[in-house]
Amino acid sequence: MRQPNCAPMGRFGRPRQPTHVIPNRTDREDSMTTGIQSLFDAFLTADHRPHRIVFPDGHDPRIVSAAAYAGSKDWVRPVLLGSRSEIEQVADDAGASLEAVEILDPEESRQFDDYAIDFAERRGIPLHTARCMTTVPFYFAAMMLCSEDVDAMIAGAQCSSQEILMATDLVVGTRDDVYTPSSFVVMQIPGYAGPEGELLVLADCVVNPEPDCDTLADIALATADTAEAVLDWDARVAMLSHSTHGHPLEPRAEHVSKAVDIVRRRAPGLKIDGELQLDAALNLAVAQKKLPFASTVAGNANVLIFPDMNAGNIAIKMAHELAGATLCGPVLQGFAETIGLVSRGATTRDILGTIALTGAYATARKRPLPRIVNGTGVGVDARAAAGPGWSPRVVRV
């Protein structure tokens, strides 16, 4: 008698074939610190001073482990918000030393009333409402930022990015000279050999869901500025799409090519190309096949600008899950203070990378702007090239 086929069945009744098993990300936690020094070396300059960074998700084991490690190396001065007893228990369970970590319980803080009163006055809301909001850790952390009691905040391990963005917009706000706030990520991809080794900068994966051509241009300029100011790169910006210079011709890609034209008018010296498919942006051999002309960017891009938030977010999560990439950030750009975000799915290594990048961004904010744009946020020759009636859309780090 023939034995029944006991293999699990796929669609259409066919036996499902065994597939390659991707190691669970928790299995990679043991390599939390392997090579992490290289990220801090890449992000932090010799003149870097340890910044005081507040973590509202102070009871999260990943946050506690990363903050304790970074503090022990004197990379940052971490402040964990939450109950001391709970945080100490988490640290004990994780085998982490809190010797270099400050713990602050918002409701027992001497600054609690001052923060609530200041927030109520600035926003014109009732004091009892401000006090209720101040009890929420990430609101309290944002108020610490506004009062300059810390240099930066890293949040998101226990809540969505949208919740953090709402608090950031309400408490911190954008810089007065910024038209379009956005975000950027630095991704370290094992085995990738690009112009900057394993590193790539990507934007915008969090803030602007469906940018038009002007907004996309703002994002590109701000991210190029960031790459130069924070990482000391010669930015080569690829504006990504599902087509490469009109092949295939698709109306939904037009806003990308229009954004490239806007950037070139505003920052004539910036190396930028688009629209480009991802392979044409990163692979020189593919770029030479797809482009009928030479490009300083195609095949050698180190900054990738996605056409919308859907594409960007999917791309970084795919690299994270399938390639084991380390996601440093997102870090918000254009806001009045320095704020880093971590995903609820972040590994401890991702959080360490975000700590390094956030510290580097906080340092860069205190330096003059890089050469891409002048003090008004506009390419030096852009006004003359743009013609009469043109008004600047300012972007800054």
Q: Per-residue pLDDT tens for 324-360?
A: 999 999 999 999 999 999 999 999 999 999 999 999 9
Angstrom distance (rounded) from CA 27 to CA 53: 28
User: Reduced to 3 states, what is the DSSP secondary structure of residue 238?
Assistant: strand
Angstrom distance (rounded) from CA 387 to CA 121: 43
- Return the beta strands (E) in 244-289 as ranges: 271-276
- pLDDT tens digits for 203-223? 999 999 999 999 999 999 999
| CA 72, chain centre distance (Å) | 24
Residues in the chain: 397
DSSP for 297-348? STT--SEEE-SSHHHHHHHHHHHHHHH--EEEEEEEESBSSEEEE--TT--H
Give the torsion sign (CA, 9, 14, 18, 23): negative
Angstrom distance (rounded) from CA 96 to CA 108: 24
Residue 14 predicted with pLDDT over 50: no
Give the model's pLDDT for residue 302.
97
Residue 321 predicted with pLDDT over 60: yes
Residue (of 364, 344, 255, 369) closest to 308 by Cα position: 255
Neighbour tally for 136: CB within 10 Å? 15
Tokens coding 293: 């002309």
Longest pairwise C-alpha distance within the chain? 88
Instruction: Express as a percent the part of the chain with pLDDT over 90.
Output: 70
Residue 51 predicted with pLDDT over 70: yes
Residue 13 predicted with pLDDT over 70: no
Give the model's pLDDT for residue 27.
44
Angstrom distance (rounded) from CA 117 to CA 106: 15
Tokens coding 68: 């304790």
Using 50, 70 and 90 to split pLDDT, how confident is the model at 284? Answer: very high
* Residues in Cβ contact with 287 at an 8 Å cutoff, skipping those fewer than 6 apart: 276, 280, 281, 295, 298, 299
Tokens coding 341: 């975000």
Report which of residues 173 and 21 the model is more confident about. Answer: 173
Report which of residues 96 and 14 the model is more confident about. Answer: 96
Mean pLDDT, the chain, rounded, equals 84
Angstrom distance (rounded) from CA 67 to CA 59: 11
Look at strands 182-188 and 326-333 and give their pairing: antiparallel
Average pLDDT over every residue of 129-136 = 94
Tokens coding 138: 């990430």
* Residues in Cβ contact with 163 at an 8 Å cutoff, skipping those fewer than 6 apart: 138
- The pTM assigned to this predicted structure is 0.84
Domains of the chain: 48-173+334-372 (3.40.50.10950), 179-325 (3.40.50.10750)
